[in-house]
Structure 1
Amino acid sequence: MADQAFVTLATNDNYAKGAMVLGRSLRNHKTSKKLVALIGPHVSEQSRAVLHMIYDEVRLVDVLDSGDMAHLAMMKRPDLGVTFTKLHCWTLTHYSKCVFMDADTLVVSNIDELFDREELSAAPDPGWPDCFNSGVFVFHPSNETYGKLLQHCTEHGSFDGGDQGALNSFFSDWATADIRKRLPFIYNMSSIAIYTYLPAFKQYGANAKVVHFLGNTKPWSYTYDPKQRVVRGDIQEASTHPGFLLEWWTLYSSCVVPMLQKEYGEQPFHSGCEELPQCEQAQPLISSEERKQRWEQGQADYMGVDSFDNIEKKLAAFLK
């Protein structure tokens, strides 16, 4: 429907890359909905141009300099700047219903059925399942709701310092009021769950529709060799399953990088795509299927990437 849209937010060029991949993944899986990108003032002109090629609407939002209610709220709670920026999605009142998706998510199957859900529908957070993860949620744009959210944030803040704490505080009955608003985890499968409950991932992971690259290390933090189809970086810091990381880079290098190259022209820019020579030090991330087979055959790399120390480091990094 023309009055329904997927919405994302990019505050800088790195997150703009994520938004580009997210938009392309939605297009590749034949969504019938509009695509909207909210961007911050630090997104470059070149990135904005590429976003305009992928998204139906690209809207600049800046709570620090705006003259709306958010600006008044900022004067009382400047610590919630990022949260207030995300809340701008409720001002998209020319749409009747939207699905917000963080720029570090990747769609691996058509998810238009999410528009059958009501506000506020979301998947449980793996760290505290009685809270929802705000990386994917269904909402109804409304200036009235937007004003109430700003007032709530100004008065109560956020218990985690970000939008997730604020939204869970505002929609406080999510876990108890209506089971229909609890989205299946496959609509927001976060990386931490893969390593904390591997048997469940082996059982249900193939049904995943949205992958969320949680943690400080994002897909664009790595480099990629398109010829060898190898993702390079510190494997111990990998924030999600290698197969999904490879899928993100394949889409980025094939669909997004050519558009960025055209916009930058002769100007240098860091695409992250490299053709590095093979060497013994390079440790390519194995594919999802290869790693699954090794686990099932009892051949987990207990001294390497699958060691207890490495898994403990991932958990520690996430909890921080």
Structure 2
Amino acid sequence: MMAVQALAASLKAAKAQPMPLLVLHTDQVSAGVQSRLAADPSLQLRCVDVIPNPHVTDVSGWVNSGFTKLRLWEQVDFEKIVYIDADCLVLENIDELFQRECPAFCPDVFPPDKFNAGVIVLEPSRDVFEEMKDKIAVLPSHDGGDTGFLNAFFPDWYRWPHEQRLPFQYNALRTMYWFTRANPGYWESIQPVKVLHFCSSPKPWDKEAKKGDLEVLWWEHYLKSQVPF
């Protein structure tokens, strides 16, 4: 819940144009959490069925519903969706993503010729969704999660037109910041970061998380989200 609240607050701070903020969730989310999220009038909650992860993984959140993200392609009442993982912050306006060709992804840190599914621009399609479901048990996943599966489903992404290969700044992975702190020029070269992705663990809201610069930024947006509407 905290992640969704912080993300929503960051979108408001970035002055995103008014449009539905769709929150997909499963019945694993408690009624209490749903009620608190529903108190934000900008959020539209939608319960979807779980799609279990067929791969062995040590990431707890991926085990029971790790492939549920694929249901994005099932939301055909929307013409286009800009999807953002809940463990992200939007730091600059990204309305321009709705003008992108679909589907569109950002590069991963490793392997760099793969994409990371934390930010996706897509056009929902029942046909595509059904094809994905049919291939869940067939295609591999290099990371054991949805990103690996989607890379196997869209294996030629690296050769797509540039309009469908988003710059890293639209899904700037925290791991790059960690790996290059000794040479800040790497992180500075991707400025301005438009979407900051707190991939890997611990998350900023975890008790064991260290309060580095990026984590402090996350907490600033979360605290803004707690101001009454």
State the TM-score, normalized to the length of structure 2.
Answer: 0.86
Contact 1:21 1:106 in 2 (8 A): yes
Distance in 2, matches of 1:30 and 1:202, equals 23
Distance in 2, matches of 1:174 and 1:181, equals 8
2:113 maps to: 130
Structure 1 pair 202–145 and aligned structure 2 pair: CA distance change class (3 A): same
SS of the counterpart of 1:175? helix
| Larger Cα-atom Rg | 1
CA drift of 1:160 comes to: 2.2
1:47 maps to: 33
Q: Which runs of 5+ in 1 are unaligned?
A: 1-15, 64-69, 223-232, 260-320
- CA deviations 1:160-214 (Å, max 9, x no partner) are 2210011001111110122221111111111111133332213433x11110001
SS of the counterpart of 2:190? helix
SS of the counterpart of 1:41? coil
Which of the residues 13, 16, 35 maps onto 1:28? 13
Distance in 2, matches of 1:17 and 1:187, equals 22
1:301 maps to: none
Structure 1 pair 199–184 and aligned structure 2 pair: CA distance change class (3 A): same
Structure 1 pair 234–28 and aligned structure 2 pair: CA distance change class (3 A): closer
Q: 1:201-212 to 2 correspondence within 5 Å?
A: 201-205=187-191, 207-212=192-197
Contact 2:71 2:129 in 1 (8 A): yes
User: 1 or 2 for the larger relative contact order (CA 8 Å, sep ≥6)?
Assistant: 2
Aligned residues: 218
Structure 1 pair 112–155 and aligned structure 2 pair: CA distance change class (3 A): same
State the TM-score, normalized to the length of structure 1.
Answer: 0.63
Distance in 1, matches of 2:48 and 2:194, equals 29
Pair 1:87-2:57 in alignment: no
2:59 maps to: none
CA drift of 1:78 comes to: 7.9
Which of the residues 46, 53, 67 maps onto 1:59? 46
Contact 2:203 2:209 in 1 (8 A): no
2:185 maps to: 199
Contact 1:82 1:162 in 2 (8 A): no
SS of the counterpart of 2:45? strand
Contact 2:80 2:121 in 1 (8 A): yes
More helix by share: 1
Pair 1:177-2:160 in alignment: yes
Structure 1 pair 221–81 and aligned structure 2 pair: CA distance change class (3 A): closer
2:213 maps to: 243
Which of the residues 102, 123, 144 maps onto 2:127? 144
Distance in 2, matches of 1:120 and 1:17, equals 28
Structure 1 pair 234–181 and aligned structure 2 pair: CA distance change class (3 A): closer
CA drift of 1:96 comes to: 0.5
Distance in 2, matches of 1:54 and 1:194, equals 34
Distance in 2, matches of 1:43 and 1:121, equals 29
Give me the identity figure in percent.
34
Q: Which runs of 5+ in 2 are unaligned?
A: 57-62
Write the letter of the residue equivalent to 1:30: K
1:279 maps to: none
- CA deviations 1:106-143 (Å, max 9, x no partner) are 01111011111122211100111110011001111111
Write the letter of the residue equivalent to 2:198: F
1:292 maps to: none
Pair 1:218-2:195 in alignment: no
